[in-house]
Amino acid sequence: MTRSGLLEDRVVMVTGASSGIGAAAARLFAAEGAAVVLTARRAELLDALAKDIAGAGGRATAVPGDVTRAGDVAQVVAAAVDTYGRLDGAFNNAGWATAGTPIHETDDAVFDQAVDVNLRGVWNCLKQQIPVMLESGAGGAIVNTSSVAGVMATGATAPYIAAKHAVIGLTRAAAEEYGRHGIRVNSLVVGSTLTEMMEGVLGGTPSLETAFTSRSVQKRMAQPVEVAQAAAWLLSDRASFVTGVPMPVDGGWTTV
């Protein structure tokens, strides 16, 4: 019996694709049969990833950009349509975090950046992705990256916690509005993951490492591909009756 990949013949956009969860997702989605349209600010890393995927027999298009800029996101979506004819799915994963600073000591610029990247970035993506999916008439699937910080207070700064809570709310609203059009929208409640961003957080506040691992039932951090696997399932037809869900991928952090 011939087996097809989980995302065979899908066209999927991935943001924050230059490293960490986004890069792992790009490789995984391509291996599962998708044509991936990758975006992030660091063009060199993005181009290298696209070449690696192509070298492994996959299909990948790199479109450098900043998710906080609506025009950049529009260019990525346009590239998906121009190159592959449509957009079937999206993993809105780009994020930015800080930790260890109480509210009264947090600079307004930190608040602005946390909200711009983590929330406005998702907003910009939905605004550009959904019209293309509606126009196709074929529906689609979108996964937005939230965090355990989206359902509870963690060691992250308050602006990040607030933005990730908002991502879950935005996801639920989109799921309700577009479900009748065949567009599913879910979020991932991601626990501590060994990414470049995590290394930056721990570099600034090393004491948080114990807190981040001890809260997990599994007493460890995730590998980026473990989160990517959950996103791939939600983007696939195997999750056809799942929408509006904040799905925990946290090693059991939020179970206790």
What ranges in 116-241 are assigned the alpha helix state H? 121-136, 158-178, 196-204, 208-214, 224-235
Instruction: Show the domains of the chain with their CATH numbers.
Output: 11-255 (3.40.50.720)
Query: What is the rounded average pLDDT of the residues 219-246?
Result: 95
pTM as predicted = 0.94
User: How many Å apart are CA 189 and CA 148, to the nearest integer?
Assistant: 5
Taking the CB of residue 28, how many other CB atoms lie within 10 A of it? 22
Q: How far from 39 is each of 36, 60, 99, 188, 221, CA to CA, in Å?
A: 10, 11, 25, 19, 25
Sign of CA dihedral 162, 168, 173, 174: positive
The single residue listed with the structure tokens 């979108």 is 142
Which residues make beta-bridge pairs with 184? 141
Tokens of 70: 């609506």
The predicted structure's pLDDT at residue 109: 97
Residue range 182-199: average pLDDT? Answer: 88
Active site residues: 160
The pLDDT tens digits for 104-138 are 999 999 999 999 999 999 999 999 999 999 999 99
State the pLDDT at residue 215: 82
Does the pLDDT value for residue 81 go beyond 90? yes
Burial class of residue 256, CB neighbours in 10 A (0-12, 13-18, 19+): exposed
Q: What is the tens place of the pLDDT at every residue in 11-65?
A: 999 999 999 999 999 999 999 999 999 999 999 999 999 999 999 999 999 999 9
